Amino acid sequence: MRGAFLYLIFAVSLGFGLSQPTVAEEIVAQFNQTRVSITTNFEGSQIVVYGAIKRDSPAPTNKKNHVIITLEGPSSPIVVRRKDRVMGIWANNAELGFERAPSFYAIMSTAPLAKVIDEATDRLYHITIPRAIRASTRNRDAEQTTEFTDALIRVRTSEGNYVQSEYGLRLLQDTLFQGQIDLPANITEGAYRVRIFITRDGQVIDSQFREIDVRRVGLERWFFNLAHEQPLIYGILALFLAIFFGWGASTLFRYIRP
Amino acid sequence: MQLFLPIAEVSVNAFLLLGIGGVVGFLSGMFGVGGGFLITPLLFFIGIPPAVAVATGANQVVASSVSGVLAQMRRRGVDFRMGLVLLLGGMMGSGLGIWVFALMTAAGQIDLFVQLAYVLFLGLVGLLMLQEAVRTMLRNRGGKAPIRRSHVHTWVHRLPLKIKFRISGLYISVLPPLVIGALVGFLSAVMGVGGGFIMVPAMIYLLGMPTKVVIGTSLFQIIFVTAFTTLMHAISSQSVDIMLAVLLILGGVIGAQFGAKVGLRLKAEQLRGLLAVLVLAVAIKIALDLLLTPDELYSVTKGIGL
């Protein structure tokens, strides 16, 4: 939370300080939902972002504005492992830890990212997928870090958890934009951070950060809490159900069948 | 109907789970085994994380064993004293298995370890059963009835600490049942199986128990070992998914009743032959996964690794 706040101060000061101070441009945005409930029949969801760039004076006509929207799931430390043929069988052999990697990351922009932001901006805001991931600082082998980072992005992309869509956004009349991000069914709960950036010349001129709360509800919530807070009771419940159904089936079929 | 599983954190089709439970239940009812050795690999296959598949598989075996043992108790097919001795060994084995499971998970080798255990034990037991079933079938075709001796004395009968097992009609040392129990308990914890496919041949060929009490006694002790395993997994890794278990169990208990009916119409050696083929098929499938080059060499796991 404090990190986001610092970002905000930084972004605002950058927006006012580095871009032309005469043109104050501001993002106005609205989401279709700010709470996503994981229910028993959860099949994924969709976040729609509607927005506009509010201006005090007309936009400069010689430079093109771009918009980027990112949606980032909760991060956790992870391990990426590589299988190698060991004595004829494929077994996990090499591994690399990552200090943080978002469980979900979607990024959409109005043009290829290389055109929309420059390297320094990316380093500052961690916008592109490789920047959103942080490899363990224990590892000093740059080549290996690249190899495992690429693998991580490939695996999570094929699972639908990392999504990049250049041209996924359209900026109408340099003012209005709308984007939609599909959340897959296999989702981790937690606070999802949405970031909206307007850039010009590869630099951020305004940004906005919001949170979407993704939570298990109802039965899902109840089972999850019980499993983690009262594991013994949860285990006994699991056994009770197993014994009950086993006994029930045996008894039921005995009466059906003479 | 898609269902989000609270612990596995994946969304799967509820009817698919009922179907898997039903098919495995049918086969387990037909052959008189728990079916854990089929359920757990099938769960891996549909994308349930291995730790959840193993723990939930154990929970499912509790239900199918309870259902089976009640039927066996009605026909006096349970040797409780033998069951308790096996159980004592089973608890020790299961505790050790849980410990190894946690160790291997941390080292990132749990998948390999579980797969190797499957290939080794299913392959071995499948081959032994197939060989025995084929030999019986050939002999029956030859028309000669096999000579059965009720008491074969082996090295097992020379061990100390002998006690009487009245229902089995045995007077043997407690050490072999303890060791067999421990081995099965260990497998139950790391493979998510009941271990009936090892327990039953071991009781017949190593302990010399009469066939009519073998299945009931094996089921009796499997209930407790898998229940213990389920509890331990629930406490140590929170990997038991009740929602997943209930669907598998519902499909399973219904399938088992129909399987039992079909099983009654087949000859014993035919049943054993079919079961052997099934067991071998699972072993070969898993062996191929280990030997063929995978599509994706990299995998991602939560945690901090070594």
Cα(A194)–Cα(A67) distance, integer angstroms: 13
Over the stretch A220-229, which tens digit does the pLDDT of each residue have? 899 999 999 9
Are the Cβ atoms of B230 and A250 closer than 8 angstroms? no
Q: Is residue B165 part of a domain?
A: no
Cα(A247)–Cα(B66) distance, integer angstroms: 6
Chain A residues within an 8 Å CB radius of B300: 78-80, 101, 152, 155-156
Q: Which of B118-132, B164-178, B222-236 has the lowest mean pLDDT?
A: B164-178
Per-residue pLDDT, A19: 46
Nearest by CB: A245 against B63, B291, B299 = B63
A248 in the same domain as A211: no
Smallest CA-to-CA distance from B283 within B202, B191, B203 is with: B191
What is the rounded average pLDDT for all residues in chain B?
83
Residue B170 pLDDT > 80? no
Residue owning tokens 């590589």:
A82
Count contacts between A and B (CB, < 8 Å): 186
Chain A residues within an 8 Å CB radius of B25: none
Per-residue pLDDT, A230: 93
Chain A residues within an 8 Å CB radius of B302: 76-79
Are the Cβ atoms of A185 and B11 closer than 8 angstroms? yes
Q: What is the mean pLDDT of residues A5-31?
A: 60
The DSSP-derived string for A151-168 is HHHHHHHHTTSEEEEET-
Residue A12 pLDDT > 60? no
A84 in the same domain as A175: yes
A200 in the same domain as A159: yes
Q: Identify the domain boundary among A201, A216, A231.
A: A216
A95 in the same domain as A11: yes
**H or E stretch at B41:** helix B36-45
Nearest by CB: A250 against B67, B235, B240 = B67
Q: Which of A27-36, A165-174, B161-170, B180-189 has the lowest mean pLDDT?
A: B161-170
Cα(A204)–Cα(A10) distance, integer angstroms: 11
Counting Cβ atoms within 10 Å, is residue A241 exposed (0-12), middle (13-18) or buried (19+)?
Answer: middle
Residue A23 pLDDT > 70? no
Are the Cβ atoms of B298 and A155 closer than 8 angstroms? yes
- Domain at A65, CATH number: 2.60.40.3880
CA A190 vs CA A75, A107, A219, A227, B126: distances in Å = 9, 18, 17, 18, 46
Nearest by CB: B240 against A79, A92, A235 = A235
Cα(B252)–Cα(B257) distance, integer angstroms: 9
Per-residue pLDDT, A94: 87
**Could you tell me how many helices (H) and strands (E) chain B has, helices first?**
10, 5
What is the rounded average pLDDT for all residues in chain A?
85
* Closest chain B residue to A41, measured at CA: B3
A199 in the same domain as A111: yes
**H or E stretch at A10:** helix A2-18
Residue A13 pLDDT > 60? no
Q: Is residue B87 part of a domain?
A: no
| First vs last C-alpha separation in chain B | 40
A140 in the same domain as A24: yes
A189 in the same domain as A233: no
Are the Cβ atoms of A186 and B302 closer than 8 angstroms? no
Are the Cβ atoms of A223 and B291 closer than 8 angstroms? no
**Is the model more confident about B255 or about B197?**
B255
A26: which strand partners? A54
Quickly state the pLDDT bin for A162 (edges 50, 70, 90): very high
Cα(A166)–Cα(A114) distance, integer angstroms: 10
CB count in 10 Å sphere of residue B169: 14
Q: Residue A35 — φ and ψ, nearest 5°?
A: -130, 125
A221 in the same domain as A165: no
Pairing of strands A105-109, A162-166: parallel
Whole domain around residue A59: which residue ranges? 2-216
Residue B115 pLDDT > 80? yes
How many domains is chain B built from?
A: 1
Q: Which of A4-13, A121-130, A200-209, B23-32 has the lowest mean pLDDT?
A: A4-13
Residue B40 pLDDT > 80? yes
B160/chain A closest Cα distance in angstroms? 37
A71 in the same domain as A16: yes
The number of angstroms, rounded, from the C-alpha of B129 to the middle of its chain's C-alpha atoms is 15
Residue owning tokens 């997943």:
B244
Q: Is the distance from CB of B139 to CB of B148 less than 8 angstroms?
A: no
A240/chain B closest Cα distance in angstroms? 9
Q: What is the mean pLDDT of residues A81-101?
A: 88
**Three-state SS at B32:** coil
Chain A residues within an 8 Å CB radius of B237: none
Tokens of A125: 């805001």
Q: SS3 for B121-169, per residue? A: HHHHHHHHHHHHHHHHHHHHHHCCCCCCCCCCCCHHHHCCCEEEECCCC
Chain B residues within an 8 Å CB radius of A235: 230-231, 233-235, 240
Per-residue pLDDT, A21: 47
Q: Widest CA span of chain B, in angstroms?
A: 64
Q: What is the mean pLDDT of residues A229-245?
A: 94
How many domains is chain A built from?
A: 2
Whole domain around residue B7: which residue ranges? 2-77+93-141+187-291
Single-letter code of the amino acid located at A74: P
A200 in the same domain as A247: no
Q: What is the ipTM for the molecules in this complex?
A: 0.82
Are the Cβ atoms of B62 and A82 closer than 8 angstroms? no
**Three-state SS at A257:** coil
Chain B residues within an 8 Å CB radius of A232: 231, 234-235
A228 in the same domain as A209: no
A232 in the same domain as A134: no
Counting Cβ atoms within 10 Å, is residue B142 exposed (0-12), middle (13-18) or buried (19+)?
Answer: exposed
**Is the model more confident about A108 or about B218?**
A108
Helix axes of B242-265 and A231-256: crossing angle, nearest 10 degrees: 30
Tokens of B171: 């007077």
